[in-house]
Amino acid sequence: MKKLINAPENVVKEALAGMAAPHGDLLRVIDPNVVVRADAPRQGKVGIISGGGSGHEPMHGGFVGRGMLDAACAGDVFT
């Protein structure tokens, strides 16, 4: 077996949902493929956002949290 993918067109959305499921107290996912801090937006704070393609996984979403990114936009695989 090479990978666990239900459908290639849903891989990013499912990966982000899987990340948010156990960490709903820290982050939430909004469409299309955006991960944001659960407490965002915060008054008086400049938001820091990162974005990029999802080479093998939506990497930038893992950096959303306190003291890190406020949001991350995940592109399609290999974009």
Looking at the predicted structure, is the pLDDT value of residue 56 above 70?
no
Q: What does pTM read for this prediction?
A: 0.80
Looking at the predicted structure, is the pLDDT value of residue 57 above 90?
no
State the pLDDT at residue 1. Answer: 61
State the pLDDT at residue 41. Answer: 86
State the pLDDT at residue 79. Answer: 61
Over residues 7-40, the pLDDT tens digits come to 888 888 998 999 999 999 999 999 889 999 999 8
Rounded CA-CA distance 42/73 in Å is 18
